Amino acid sequence: MALMLTTSDVAVLVARMNIRRTLDLLSRYIQDDFVRWESFEKIARLASHSTVGVIELMPTSDADRYSFKFVNGHPSNPSHGLPTVMAFGALAEVSTGRPLLLSELTLTTALRTAATSVMAARVLARKEAHTMALIGNGAQSEFQALAFHHLLGIDTLRIYDIDPEASHKLKQNLAGVQGLDVQLARSTQDAVAGVDIITTVTADKTNALILTPDMVQPGVHVNAVGGDCPGKTELHADILSGATTFVEFEPQSRIEGEIQQMPSTYAVIPLWEVLTGRRPGRRSDAEITIFDSVGFALEDFSALRFLWDQARALQIGREFELVPQAGNPKDLFGAMRHLSADTTAGMEKAALACPHEA
C-alpha cells in the first residue's frame, strides 16, 4: 500500500509541527541531501513550454529512493482562480520500483523553496544580516518571509509588489508574527535601500529588470527566486558581472536561471560545494553574492523524504492501493478480475443496505 497526502494533510502536518519547526527541519533535510550531492542521479528538468506557461517533470534518485515532481508555471492562472504554480509528486523504492508516497507538492514546493533559500543564505549572507527586501508578494512570499525571520533572524521586512493588494495581503498574513516589522515600500528602489538581503520572487514570464545595478549595494546577498525558465529573468546582467553567483545544478541554471543572460564562460559556484566545505561561500563583507535559485529536483526529493517520515510519525494521510496487492504477481489479468468482483460485490451490498426510495 502507498501513502497519499492531500493538500489538507500537508496543512495539518505543518500546523501540528508549527511553521518554524517545519521550515527548520525541512531545510536540514535539504542540506543533508545536498551534502550527498554526488550520490544522486541528476538531470535538468523536462519542460514543455507554451505561450502561456510551462509544465515540467523533475526526477532524481539515489541508491535507495526515486522521486519525481510534476509542476506547472502559468502566470495568468490567478485570473482563472488557479495558483500560478501547482504540483504533485511521488517517492518510490529503487530496489523494487514500489511506490511509497503520492503527495501534493503545491504547498510543499513553497515550503521547500523558502527552506532552500535560507539554507543558501546561511553561507552566503553577512552574519549580522537583519533586514530584507521582498520584491514580489504573491503566493510564495509569506513562506520566504517566515523562513528568513525564524531561521536567519530577519526582523525588518520591506515589501513591494506592482499589485498593492498583494502587498497588503502579505502584511496582513504576517501581522501576528512576533518580532517581525513589515514595512510597505513605495517602489522596488525604496524597498531595497540599505537592506542586507534582497529576495526577488516575481511571476511574469519575461526577461524583466526587477533589479538594476544602482539598487544593489556592496555586501548585499540577492536571493533570486523568480527567474526559473528560459526567457524569464529578474536581474540586470551587470549585477551578475559584479557579483559571485551560486547555483543548484549548473546545466539547468544555464538554461533557466539569471545566468542564461551571461556567456558560457561566466563562472559560477555550485552551492553543494560550499555546503561540503570544498569552496568558500561569502568571502568578505563587501562582496555581492547571488543565489540563482531555479529549483532543482533534489530539493523535491528531500521534501518528499521529509513528508514520508513526518506523516508516518504523526499518522497523517491514508493508505491506498496504487498497485495490485494480492494474488499471483504474474497473473495481472486475474488480479483485475478479482478486484472487479470484490468492488462489484461491495457496491451491491451497499445498495441492499441503503435501497433507493421508489
- DSSP for 224-292, written as a single string: E-S--BTTBEEE-HHHHHTSEEEESSHHHHHHHSGGGGS-TT---EEHHHHHTTSS-S---TT--EEEE
d(CA 341, CA 178): 58
Q: Does residue 64 have an active-site annotation?
A: no
Question: Which residue type does 43 have?
Answer: I
Q: Are 257 and 227 in contact (CB under 8 A)?
A: yes
pLDDT of res. 203: 77
- Does residue 342 surpass a pLDDT of 80? no
Q: Long-range pairs for 328-337 at CB < 8 Å and ≥24 separation?
A: none
Q: Is 171 left (phi over 0), alpha (psi -120 to 50) or beta?
A: alpha
Q: Are 114 and 147 in contact (CB under 8 A)?
A: yes
User: Which grid cell sits at 316?
Assistant: 497523517
Instruction: List 66's β-bridge partners, or say none.
Output: 61, 92
User: Which grid cell sits at 338?
Assistant: 478479482
Catalytic-role residue among 9, 33, 161, 228: 228
Percent of residues, the chain, with pLDDT higher than 90 = 83
Per-residue pLDDT band for 11 (boundaries 50, 70, 90) equals very high
Per-residue pLDDT band for 358 (boundaries 50, 70, 90) equals very low
Cell 513589515 found at: 182
Q: Is 249 left (phi over 0), alpha (psi -120 to 50) or beta?
A: beta
d(CA 270, CA 267): 10
Residues 212-229 have pLDDT tens digits of 999 999 999 999 999 888
d(CA 66, CA 59): 8
DSSP assignment string, 72-97:
EE-TTGGGGTS-S--EEEEEEETTT-
| CB-neighbour burial class of residue 96 (10 A; exposed 0-12, middle 13-18, buried 19+) | exposed
Q: Are 182 and 157 in contact (CB under 8 A)?
A: yes
d(CA 266, CA 20): 37
pLDDT of res. 352: 60
Cell 543533508 found at: 32
Residues 125-178 have pLDDT tens digits of 999 999 999 999 999 999 999 999 999 999 999 999 999 999 999 999 999 999
User: Which grid cell sits at 354?
Assistant: 441503503
